[in-house]
Chain A
Amino acid sequence: MPKTLAQKVYEAHVVRSAAGEPDLLYIDLHLVHEVTSPQAFDGLRAAGRTVRRPDLTMATEDHNVPTLDILAPIADPVSRAQIEALRKNAAEFGIRLAPMGDRDQGIVHVIGPQLGLTQPGMTIVCGDSHTSTHGAFGALAFGIGTSEVEHVLATQTLPQYEPKQMAVTVDGQLPPGVSAKDIILAVIAQIGTNGAQGHVIEYRGSAIEALSMESRMTICNMSIEAGAKAGLIAPDRTTLDFLQGRPHAPQGADWDAAVEHWSTLRTDEGAVFDREVVLDATTLTPFVTWGTNPGQGLPIAGTVPDPADFADEGERRDVEQALAYMGLQPGTPLRDIEVDTVFLGSCTNGRIEDLRVAAELLRGKRIDPETRMLVVPGSVGVKAQAEAEGLDRVFLDAGAEWRGAGCSMCLGMNPDQLKPGERSASTSNRNFQGRQGKGGRTHLVSPSVAAATALTGRLTAPADLTTVDV
């Protein structure tokens, strides 16, 4: 029977299958960070268990880490205690840790691919919903809760049911200034925050095949915002070129054996998807969110919606609540929305390509004097690469702040936060109420919209810059 890519990866990892029970699925790589792991390690200790496969487990410090003075002790004692707990647990259970200051440290979903630990056909989990990022390599990668973190630490497996299959096909050439972030925001706006619930999404079509690995990661990263279990893309030449030579990529004969296996990781002709969605890339424009969930987005040429236009009472209430929180009036052109802060970074858009795109727009210019711009590389490796290319100078000369690596203002667990009422254009993944700081208001944007917005102080598409006096 013809199979989808996700079915092939899933079935290759079933350890045990029995009627009336979930399958037991083997996990090839378990990524760990400080926030969702301490209670799991406590659980192991309480039960006298060990970590079954420390060699398939990798930990890093990302959510809590300050992006300034990164070599000084963390000022917040609660954050510091959580980091110290991870260090103690990693040492006790024999797990490799990339701590602050380490050259391999960074956001967990940036360092996996960077180190070559993320490879096609693998199963990858992490106590973090954006684990779907790793699907860009044709891996089945999904977020789990802390109880499941404990389960994987103890057994290297998870009880699972095979997810349903969904295809999102994007064909055609993206217009200039339109990026992977715009594709995924458009997908989520179309299908909703629950549109892919219970499904694995396979992204396919000529527009997806034309994307770099960084862009594919941006798309897979936000699969969870459409409710998906995971998102993935079949490996191809772009995938191999990205992987080859990375520290943990196979070498020599191993590389050849791996490539031979990876070449089978494609959805078979005639395989059936439970749901299919099609997008025409040629019609896409820069997308921004206006509300308080990632599905509440529109092309930047649009206006803030009017609750009165929604027939369904629940939807109308949702829109009213979102606009009240966001401090927006129906009918306001999105381009008229002024921001206080621009955040460039996160596991969605904190990779080298994202920084390059933004730097190109900022080169030789100054950002709006009323606007603060934070540039936070996704990892120490990305930061070093950007500095080698001189991008740090471009950002600093433009008036932006150049910070250390981490999750930073995506969720404000460190000091990088919005103040109450402040508004951001953010390349991160969630515009939930208070996500970037209590009372903060978030508009999700692509890196190029972030850079253009920093120049003008209001939501701006890169194409607008030729007609706007900056």
Chain B
Amino acid sequence: MDAFTTHTGTAAPLRRSNVDTDQIIPAEYLKRITRTGFEDGLFVAWRTNEPDFVLNQPQYADASILVAGPDFGTGSSREHANWALLDGGFRVVISARFADIFRNNSTKAGLLTVVLPQEQVEALWTAIEADPTTQVTVDLQSKEVTYRDVTVPFEVDDYVRWRLLEGLDDVGLTERNLDDIETFEAGRPAWLPRAIPASQG
């Protein structure tokens, strides 16, 4: 995973709430077995069917920060949604609320999710609609979103922040605790099921 420290770019206003992961990338794109190359599926239905869709507007074509309505990333656990956003050039999604699995997947994939109060999201929408070239900086070190003369602090779990800043691999971190895992396994009840075929169990 790439480390995330700070990012500056332009932002796209996605004035929709309850953006589910089926909208971010539909199931037909999930048949692929690769981990990259999902940009063609990103919001494909809205990009295809709605000429005015925000990402069809040339002034937002190069945006790297997505500013969405509340409850972004609901539904399916597909991490392809996070990959598609990254493949589509986004490094940050800002929303008043994220679905838990999407937010958790983001921390693994290196996409930063920033929770701001809805009124701050509205203010940011207004600013980037008035001037789509507005530079927005999301600084994970200082935990601040800055644009024009506005600076808004955001909360992020310290452990998640540390992992993102260092670009650390979770599996590697857990493997430091193998002794604890082995001790736990030794104490598990013998009657717990094993998935080997019953005839061999």
Contact = CB atoms under 8 A, between A and B. Distances in A.
B34 to A, nearest CB: 7
Contact of B79 (A20, A36, A115, A254): A36
B22 A42 contact: no
Contacts of A157: 174, 181
Interface string B160-201: 000000000011011101101101110011111111111001
Interface stretch (A54-62, A205-213, A359-367): A54-62
Given A26-B181, A26-B184, A39 B35 contact: yes
B148 interface: no
A155 B175 contact: yes
B105 A434 contact: no
Nearest to B81: A145
Given A147-B109, A293-B74, A119 B22 contact: no
Contact of B30 (A22, A35, A249, A250): A35
Contacts of B190: 254
A378 B156 CA distance: 40
Contact of A145 (B26, B79, B192, B197): B79
A144 interface: yes
B131 interface: no
B104 to A, nearest CB: 7
Given A39-B33, A58-B195, A317-B15, A24 B78 contact: no
A439 B50 CA distance: 12
Interface string B23-37: 100111011111100
Contact of A257 (B33, B100, B189): B189
B105 A81 contact: no
Interface in A1-35: 15-16, 20-22, 24, 26, 28-29, 35
A196 B175 CA distance: 32
A29 B159 contact: no
Size category of the binding interface on chain A: 35 or more
Given A146-B79, A193-B18, A49 B171 contact: yes
A229 B102 CA distance: 12
A90 B180 CA distance: 27
B123 to A, nearest CB: 15
Contact of A193 (B74, B80, B189, B198): B74
A193 B71 contact: yes
A314 B181 CA distance: 47
Contacts of A122: 192
Interface string A143-160: 111111011001111010
A32 B20 CA distance: 22
Interface string B95-129: 00101110011001100000000100000000000
A413 B30 contact: yes
Interface string A230-262: 000000000000000001111000110110010
A35 B28 CA distance: 10
B170 A24 contact: no
Contacts of B195: 29, 54-58, 95-96, 117, 248
B88 interface: no
A428 interface: no
A38 interface: yes
Nearest to B82: A145
B113 to A, nearest CB: 13
A197 B70 contact: no
A15 B177 contact: yes
A197 B97 contact: yes
B13 interface: no
A129 B75 contact: yes
Contact of B100 (A22, A156, A197, A293): A197
B122 to A, nearest CB: 9
Interface centre among B23, B33, B177, B192 (most CB of A within 10 A): B33
A148 B108 contact: yes
Contacts of B80: 146
A145 B101 contact: yes
Nearest to B30: A35
Nearest to B158: A20
A81 B74 contact: no
Contact of A314 (B22, B70, B170, B194): B70
A273 interface: no
A329 interface: no
A145 B108 contact: yes
A156 B182 CA distance: 10
B61 interface: no
A20 to B, nearest CB: 6
A105 interface: no
8 contacts: A78-B32, A129-B75, A144-B104, A157-B181, A248-B194, A257-B191, A318-B18, A433-B45
Instruction: Please list the 4 inter-chain residue pairs (A to B) with the smallest Cβ-Cβ separation, ordered nearest first.
Output: A147-B108, A145-B105, A145-B79, A254-B191
Interface of B: 15-18, 20, 22-23, 26-28, 30-35, 45, 49, 69-71, 74-80, 82, 97, 99-101, 104-105, 108-109, 118, 158-159, 170-171, 173-175, 177-178, 180-181, 183-185, 188-198, 201
Given A36-B78, A55-B194, 16 more contacts: A28-B193, A49-B171, A52-B181, A55-B195, A82-B31, A96-B196, A145-B109, A147-B109, A151-B170, A224-B101, A258-B189, A293-B18, A314-B118, A434-B22, A434-B45, A439-B49
